[in-house]
Amino acid sequence: MKKKQQKKRVLQAIKIAVGSSAAIYVAEVLNLEYAISAGSIALLTLVTTKWETVKLSWFRLVTFLVSSVLAWIVFTQIQSEWLAYGIYIFLIVIVSEEFGWRATISVNAVIGMHFMAKRDFEASFVFNEFLLVLIGITVAVVLNLFYDYAGQRKDLVRNMRYTEDRMQMILGAIAAYLADKEMQYDIWAAIRELESQIRIFIDDAYEYQDNTFQSHPEYYINYFEMRMKQCNTIHDLHYEMKRIRKMPQQALIISEYVLNMMDYVTERNEPTAQMDKLKEIFQHIKEDKLPTTREEFESQAMLYHILMDLEDFLVYKKRFVNSLDDKQKQRYWNQGK
């Protein structure tokens, strides 16, 4: 996992370096003034995702017009550089915050410095500044088109299988505990580790969504968020389970159910059958003889809590399945990965 993150950082650094250098080179070939600023604009645009790059590029073009007008108003009226630039930045920030263009402030600040230094608002110099912005954002957009969609998707699918395998292992350990067997597995540590991994997987899913133009990329986000909710439910279940001082006889029935259920912790399973079986267990325990001691009563109450946690576990998957439309099932289930 660490090597993967390091590789991603190195590739991003290479992309930013190449993009910045390429933007400066193009600006120099065109004999533009302040050519180095094209590299800065490319850098500031490249650090975002593909969708953010497209949106930010549009904002940069719109705000360039705004910043040019504000620069003309301020710098032609005020001779003091520090005062003029301060007022210009104040106006730029106000406008940017008002329209949600905060990410454009840095580039507009640079453009403003050029206008202030030259005090030139002839069409040729305004066009010079426009080309700097255009070159910077064009290079950024082009480079952000180079994204390893297939590799990222394979990683997401691999993470899905990992999550399912780990969840099955944890459920197997819980089933063993309910069967009153000696524990050889630290369930707490396993749950915490899985929760930590799923958080990373969710971030990866968001990154994939923000860098693809394909349909329904939110599928992976919804999947991992569903697994996170299930993981939290297992956490609660384990807490209830550890509070049982003496395992009641009914715990063995629940243990067998969990062993059976864990095989269905897969991406494409619709948990209707497992939910029906759980209802039968609820009914069976309800019809069983009442506890006679306080300890038995408390233990049976904990079993009810465990059953409700298992029900929540299945409900989360059921909701996920119900949220899928026919196109998503066709794309992610019927065609395979």
- Of the ranges 41-50, 244-253, 312-321, which is most confident? 312-321
Provide the pLDDT for residue 290: 62
Tell whether the model's pLDDT for residue 335 goes beyond 60: no
User: In one letter, which amino acid is 99?
Assistant: F
- Give per-residue pLDDT as tens, 122-137: 999 999 999 999 999 9
Contact (Cβ atoms closer than 8 angstroms) between residue 37 and residue 110: yes
Label residue 293 by pLDDT band (50, 70, 90).
Answer: low
As a CATH number, domain 149-334 is: 1.20.120.940
Mean pLDDT of 164-178: 94
- Lowest-confidence region among 16-20, 24-28, 215-219: 215-219
Length of the chain, in residues: 337
| Residue in the block written with tokens 């395998």 | 165
Question: CATH 1.20.120.940 region(s) of the chain?
Answer: 149-334
Is 230 buried (19+), middle (13-18) or exposed (0-12) by CB count in 10 A? buried
pLDDT at 84 over 80: yes
DSSP at 330: I
Work out the average pLDDT over 254-276: 94
**Three-state SS sequence of 96-157:** HHHHCCHHHHHHHHHHHHHHHHHCCCCHHHHHHHHHHHHHHHHHHHHHHCCCCHHHHHHHHH
pLDDT band at 296 (very low <50, low <70, confident <90, very high): low
CA angle 308, 309, 310 (to 5 degrees): 90
Q: Is the pLDDT of residue 185 over 90?
A: no
Radius of gyration, CA atoms only, the chain: 29
Predicted pLDDT at 135: 97
Taking the C-alpha atoms of residue 99 and residue 94, their distance in angstroms, rounded to an integer, is 9
Closest CA to 176 of 235, 259, 250, 239: 259
Predicted local distance difference test score (pLDDT) of residue 304? 87
Instruction: Tell me what the mean pLDDT of segment 68-87 comes to.
Output: 95
Residue 267: count of CB within 10 angstroms of its CB = 17
